[in-house]
Structure 1
Amino acid sequence: MYWNSQFLRSIQLMKADIPSFKQYPFHLPSVETLDELVLHPKVTFFVGENGMGKSTLIEAIAVALGFNPEGGSLNFNFSTYDSHSPLADYLKLIKGIDKPTDGFFLRAESFYNVASNIEEMDREGFGTKVIDSFGGVSLHEQSHGEAFFATFLHRFRGNGIYILDEPEAALSPLRQMSMLTRIHDLVQENSQLIIATHSPIIMAYPDAKIFEFTESGISESKLEETNHYRLMKQFFDDKNRMLHHLFEG
């Protein structure tokens, strides 16, 4: 049941095909030490400091699944700037028996481009308006956070695979908590989510698998063991002491 209900079981790096581990992104410890990542059937988190390769790997997984590097559903094929790495070409995806009926790649840094492409498609007037499946209100006429959450709330239909890259960048702490509720709804609707995040709130979703990206590579971790959680806890447990160390240098 564990395997059959999972859309994407694992990812493998085809190391023998890589021309050089001295070039980006193959020189990153998270890529160089990667053999296989066995994903959770419902929710998997990628966490770690900036520059450790979280977004690079999650983008490669999305591209290998057929998503646009800048985000969107499988039928989004626009390109404003070709900046994605070649990592997707060297990933082998091990899939389950069942196939998802929905999917979306949601990334904070290029969400504006997705919103613009939706308006462009609707101006061309091909049948039902695309924006209707995002809540019916122009994403450009909402705040970044509102548009981001509207997409997560309305466009994700369930029984799908959803790839999210740093969704907390547009969300307040309260919205991040609301996002936990929406993640749970999607899990109950037979969905699988892979999320790169810096937010201890979001990564607190129970029974998820957390992979932490460090200079040593990728390792499985518990929420309370992650650097993000420990740092935030240390800050709020003794804010004045932390601020003193920060300001005194």
Structure 2
Amino acid sequence: MLVRRARIPEELLPDDPPEDRPWPLSVPCVAQLVEEDMTFERPVTMLVGENGSGKSTLVEAFAEAWGLDARGGRAGRKYGNDRPKTPLGEILRLESTSAGARQRGGSRHKRKGYFLRAETAFGFMETVSSMAGYWDENTSEMSHGEGFLAVFEAMFREPGFYVMDEPEAALSFQSCLRLVDLMYRLGESGAQVICATHSPILAATPGADIIEVGDHGFRRTTWEDLALVDHWRRYMNNPTAYLRYVTQG
């Protein structure tokens, strides 16, 4: 592992009382992080929660704290580091392990990692296509899912810090299973993965630490106890029980 903790130093917080702090400090999961930090206990961490729960806000800041661009891309890109950071990325700090400190302590070229953000990934792939240091395939001639898999295979290799925001957006069931295998192998290799997801398939990655994000803030849980898994299981067993409410009126 490369990172053991995410925290926000007290001296970087605004002077407002906690209940009056501006966004994103008002988001429950961020407010909890201010109070007690977020620890990383396993090589693969899954952040699971509803839309608007703050998952993307967190993973963007984790990526930026490692030196990755919040819009996506690989570590060590000089031009990516010149962009303004997100509000949380400006103040969040990562506490490294000894292996992480060795990567972060040298030149930017020593830093290994990648941030794949589903919202911006397609445009980014077109921008860097055929550039040195990326992938050989022409992703513009692929489906979105094939393009994502090409990025994973080319960029998610070395022991580095890999952050993903809803990578399942373009993936089929089988492709999600391929990503599970990749994340598992990365974790075994000494890399670290943090993935925000709505996918029960990705959340089931063997050995992953699961953190559920919501109005409560954040808490560790198991795959079986995830609200996401419960909803999918009940829906697949009896879709009509859900759809009759959706289609009424």
Pair in the same fold by TM > 0.5: yes
In 2, Cα distance between equivalents of 1:204 and 1:83: 35
Matches within 5 A, 1:31-70: 31-34=30-33, 35-70=36-71
In 1, Cα distance between equivalents of 2:159 and 2:29: 30
Aligned to 2:106: none
Q: CA deviation at 1:186?
A: 1.6
Structure 2: gaps of 5 or more residues: 104-109
Partner amino acid for 1:161?
A: F
Aligned to 2:23: 24
The alignment yields a C-alpha RMSD, in angstroms, of 2.0
SS, match of residue 98 in structure 2: coil
In 1, Cα distance between equivalents of 2:78 and 2:169: 24
Q: Kindly tell me the number of residue pairs found equivalent between the two proteins.
A: 232
The structure carrying a bigger helix percent of its residues is 2
CA gap of 1:25–1:204, structure 2 versus 1, over 3 A, is same
Q: Does 1:196 align with 2:206?
A: no
In 2, Cα distance between equivalents of 1:194 and 1:184: 12
Q: CA deviation at 1:192?
A: 1.0
Partner amino acid for 1:204?
A: A
- Asked if the contact 2:42/2:207 (under 8 Å) is kept, the reply is no
In 1, Cα distance between equivalents of 2:12 and 2:194: 25
Structure 1, residues 141-190: CA drift from partner, whole Å, max 9, x if none? 21111111111112212211111111001111111011111112222322
Q: Does 1:106 align with 2:127?
A: no
In 2, Cα distance between equivalents of 1:202 and 1:219: 18
In 1, Cα distance between equivalents of 2:11 and 2:154: 42
Aligned to 1:160: 160
- Asked if the contact 1:8/1:41 (under 8 Å) is kept, the reply is no
Scaled by the length of structure 1, the TM-score of the pair is 0.86
In 2, Cα distance between equivalents of 1:16 and 1:234: 47
Q: Which moved more, 1:172-181 or 1:195-204?
A: 172-181
In 2, Cα distance between equivalents of 1:42 and 1:150: 23
CA gap of 1:47–1:83, structure 2 versus 1, over 3 A, is farther
Percent identical pairs in the alignment equals: 31
Q: CA deviation at 1:222?
A: 0.9
Scaled by the length of structure 2, the TM-score of the pair is 0.86
Matches within 5 A, 1:1-249: 6-19=1-14, 20=16, 21-34=20-33, 35-78=36-79, 85-99=86-100, 102-119=112-129, 122=131, 129-130=132-133, 133-134=134-135, 136-248=136-248
Q: CA deviation at 1:71?
A: 0.9
Q: CA deviation at 1:227?
A: 1.5
Q: CA deviation at 1:116?
A: 3.1
